[in-house]
Structure 1
């Protein structure tokens, strides 16, 4: 098994953890350098959102199921029932921040993409999360290239949740054509490349990344993005599309894996296999990947429409 960061042991040992919700963010931070742009990304996040639904049911009296954010249905984010700022939404845009700037990204050598700024950039002021306080981060994206967690990983830094809705990203990289292209992937390598826009993207940036970026800086945070409640529905959509892709060819896709066990597909750690173990800190005991590959086996029993 590859070396991982020391697990998050308890609320008392993490200064920033002030709630059960914070446990989930702290665990995500703790394993960020193993669970993104790696062979463990899809199964790890499948189990992570399942653990979130389990906690809602067993600890919070929730009787529903975790839903998903179908990106292509709502090209205008502010018109979506998820982000229209109503009392039944996940809250809306942030206040307008004149200091927010357009971003320039280089997804491949010689290729530059200019992303227009969003429509907010400040604290959320509408809907049920208008007074939501988040306690961890922010992180510099460059820190995701490190071999160990930053010193401030679990520092207590209370502040408001910031959003900046960006329709351009959703319309360009999360539309139905992109979804169909993803589902038509012939193998897991192509599926990962399209979804993540890395390392050889046929579609620059990828709908996983742009879904995060379309909601602003806190949802985009590589380490602490679960602090935005939209994280769970965004990853519900990722898991839905992976499930649909797997179901299309059970024999060859159900246990298809690709990549090493560290972020950015680093070659100094082993290629993942169904026997690779992944960790979940205080949320669950370590699991082999083979337990996480089907939503209808083992502890799982769910399907998507």
Structure 2
């Protein structure tokens, strides 16, 4: 029965990999944990089940992308501080820009992004009538050929296609001391011309571009700078997102510090991490911009997978790992700051209030019971 909760309606084109099997084997641990720590009405049977993109039907995928397009038509809440924000979708980019240096390489990286994905899901449902839940992108399914995957093949059931061929020099990884730590370019880099987002406008940024695009009229990148969505769907970056990397990340790192370090990347050692690999599988503009990357709708599927991987890691020792944080309160401890704690506050600006980190640690009963979800 428990295994059925995560194996139902899987796409037969993608047999379970070692990470999927780890989920199936680990799920009973949630039931055991809930027996000792009841979470009101949140049980395995009542939990929302987030699905992988290719496990959704064509109609479900189109409903999702239509809801994202709807969010791009809703009024902005941040235009008073970000003149470039033209929609509620843009508000998510503004909040990410404003909090980038706090929520990466810090205590807040995993819990804050969990909150961010959940609130985005809520806005799709409550503002745009979406009846599903936030899907994730299982990197391993498409790592060998992402451009021809159900996610990026440019069909009506995709998240949009690749960009047109453009010339650029690839991406030098931050902190990389050697020239071969550059991700080579692939066959895109230009405007996306296929799929649901072929006509979308990117309005914010750039701040840290990987392509040559028109500069933003404001130094903080929050001015109005409309342009096309650009991508370089890149199997060179995807190479570090095969299932073995994710499985090793989950099973070989036994504390929150090393789990997060390996996930985000060990750049001086030339190790990108699955977080970096997923981002630069999309690349382009704004997807390749560290600050404005949520401007590409694929961002939300990537970071929902990040949350899924954290969830799987937490399942291995729920009593410990739902209360364990690491790192300091600033990105890479710059400027130097104290170690973060479960009582530190994390919020989404005008989108959602500050809450304690401890309220974001569990998908089963977190956020005062509002979090109640698992991953199929």
Q: Deviation at 1:106?
A: 6.2
Correspondent of 1:176 among 243, 255, 258: 243
- 2:83 matched to 1:15? yes
Change (3 A) 1:11 1:104: closer
Secondary structure, counterpart of 1:162 in structure 2: coil
Secondary structure, counterpart of 1:17 in structure 2: coil
CA RMSD of aligned residues (A): 2.0
Name the residue aligned to 1:300. 371
Hey, what's the Cα distance between the residues in 2 that align with 1:199 and 1:94?
A: 27
Name the residue aligned to 1:207. 274
Which deviates more from structure 2 when the two are superposed, residues 210-219 or residues 63-72? 210-219
Correspondent of 2:162 among 93, 97, 104: 93
Which of structures 1 and 2 has the bigger CA Rg? 2
Give me the TM-score of the superposition, normalised by structure 2: 0.73
Secondary structure, counterpart of 1:122 in structure 2: strand
CA displacement, residues 10-30 of structure 1 (integer Å, 9 cap, x when unaligned): 433420111111111111111
Name the residue aligned to 1:4. none
Q: Deviation at 1:87?
A: 0.7
Hey, what's the Cα distance between the residues in 2 that align with 1:190 and 1:32?
A: 21
Q: How does 1:1-305 map to 2 (within 5 A)?
A: 10-74=78-142, 75-97=144-166, 99-105=167-173, 107=175, 109=177, 112-140=180-208, 151-171=219-239, 173-184=240-251, 185-198=253-266, 204-217=271-284, 218-266=286-334, 268-297=336-365, 298-305=369-376
Hey, what's the Cα distance between the residues in 1 that align with 2:122 and 2:174?
A: 39
Q: Deviation at 1:267?
A: 5.6
Hey, what's the Cα distance between the residues in 1 that align with 2:264 and 2:243?
A: 16
8 Å contact kept, 2:175–2:268: no
Secondary structure, counterpart of 1:35 in structure 2: coil
8 Å contact kept, 2:206–2:221: no
8 Å contact kept, 1:107–1:205: no
CA displacement, residues 192-236 of structure 1 (integer Å, 9 cap, x when unaligned): 1210114776x7011101211111232121111111000000001
Hey, what's the Cα distance between the residues in 1 that align with 2:268 and 2:261?
A: 6
Q: Deviation at 1:276?
A: 0.6
Secondary structure, counterpart of 2:319 in structure 1: helix
Q: Deviation at 1:107?
A: 4.6
Give me the TM-score of the superposition, normalised by structure 1: 0.89
Q: Deviation at 1:105?
A: 3.5
Secondary structure, counterpart of 1:29 in structure 2: helix
Hey, what's the Cα distance between the residues in 2 that align with 1:106 and 1:138?
A: 17
Which deviates more from structure 2 when the two are superposed, residues 156-165 or residues 101-110? 101-110
Hey, what's the Cα distance between the residues in 2 that align with 1:235 and 1:103?
A: 20
Name the residue aligned to 2:59. none
Q: Deviation at 1:102?
A: 3.2
Hey, what's the Cα distance between the residues in 1 that align with 2:341 and 2:172?
A: 36
8 Å contact kept, 1:275–1:288: yes
Hey, what's the Cα distance between the residues in 2 that align with 1:110 and 1:14?
A: 37
Hey, what's the Cα distance between the residues in 1 that align with 2:86 and 2:141?
A: 35
Change (3 A) 1:112 1:282: same
8 Å contact kept, 1:196–1:208: yes
Runs of 4+ in 1 over 6 A off after TM superposition: none
8 Å contact kept, 1:105–1:112: no
Which deviates more from structure 2 when the two are superposed, residues 55-64 or residues 269-278? 269-278
